[in-house]
Amino acid sequence: MRMILVGPPGAGKGTQAARLVHDHGICHVSSGDMLRAAVKDGTALGKQADDYMRRGALVPDDLVIAMVIERIGKADCADGFMLDGFPRTRPQAEALDRAMAAAGVALDAVVLIEVPDGLILRRITGRRSDPETGEIYHLEFQPPPPAIAARVVQRKDDTEEACRARLEKYHSETAPIVPFYRDKGILRTIDGVGTPDEVAARITAALGGKVRA
Ligand code: AP5
């Protein structure tokens, strides 16, 4: 299975990706996680990306495309992958198409998780993650267990200001790639409002109930 998760910031892409990669036995390729790791490690890519990310702007296409295309060419992605947060612009979608055609593989599904803008800010500002396990929590919707509550951290771009900028970028740059995939007949649109279990069930049904035994 080769698939893409698309949706506004805070739609639940990371939350659902964790379940889907487990169910389908595929590798999880999150462009945001890769960029945050590069920033943390102080690599040349990380130094270039840091300012864009803090502001909630998009990291330039050439940097992100090279990073993701190289990643999905690795051996652990040979049997399938879940792209989370990529592509986010039309040039990224076209570059992915070319790379996959060159590799003789095709996308099986693009899952669009829709959540109204009014809910996004609450989801983003309440998000916390466990630096030791990478587990995602929410102060209100999915509170971290007491044993780890003191060590959870907030992302630098989860401020109200950066969230508004990210949402604007989503509508201007990312939403326009949706028709590109609809025209290919592989788009599955999911209502992202509800509990994570409810959303997961909708995605599984939209994918034809195909989960690993
Ligand atoms: P990235 O890390 O991709 O961030 P994003 O797309 O803004 O998405 P998020 O990670 O914020 O949200 P999510 O949808 O994964 O939600 P989550 O599951 O965590 O990108 C960050 C930055 O990197 C970008 O701004 C850009 O600068 C750069 N970048 C990355 N990719 C790029 C690219 N391709 N091109 C250019 N630049 C790029 O859930 C959010 C919260 O809600 C959590 O607290 C969770 O517990 C809670 N929650 C989840 N589901 C539910 C539910 N059903 N009900 C209640 N709460 C829920």
| pLDDT at residue 24, rounded to an integer | 87
For range 106-118, the mean pLDDT = 96
Active site residue 36: no
Active site residue 155: yes
Active site residue 212: no
Contact 76, 29 (CB under 8 A): no
| pLDDT at residue 209, rounded to an integer | 66
| pLDDT at residue 210, rounded to an integer | 52
What proportion of the chain, given as a percentage, has pLDDT over 90?
A: 93
For range 98-119, the mean pLDDT = 95
CA 83 from chain center: how many Å? 7
pLDDT digits (tens, 9 = 90+) for 19-76: 999 888 899 999 999 999 999 999 999 999 999 999 999 999 999 999 999 999 999 9
| pLDDT at residue 208, rounded to an integer | 87
Distance 82 CA to ligand 1 centre (A): 14
Dihedral of CA 76/80/83/89: which sign?
positive
- Mutation to probe ligand 1, out of 142, 161, 174, 199 (largest number of atoms < 8 A from CB): 142
Query: Looking at ligand 1, which residue's alpha carbon is closest to its atom 19?
Result: 14
Q: What angle do CA 57, 70, 166 make, to 5 degrees?
A: 15
Whether pLDDT at 126 is above 90: yes
136 CA: nearest ligand 1 atom: 46
CA dist 88 and 147 (Å) reads: 36
Written as six digits, the tokens of 49 are: 């990306």
| pLDDT at residue 212, rounded to an integer | 44
What SS3 state is found at 157? coil
Q: Report the C-alpha dihedral over residues 191, 194, 197, 201, rounded to 10 degrees.
A: -30
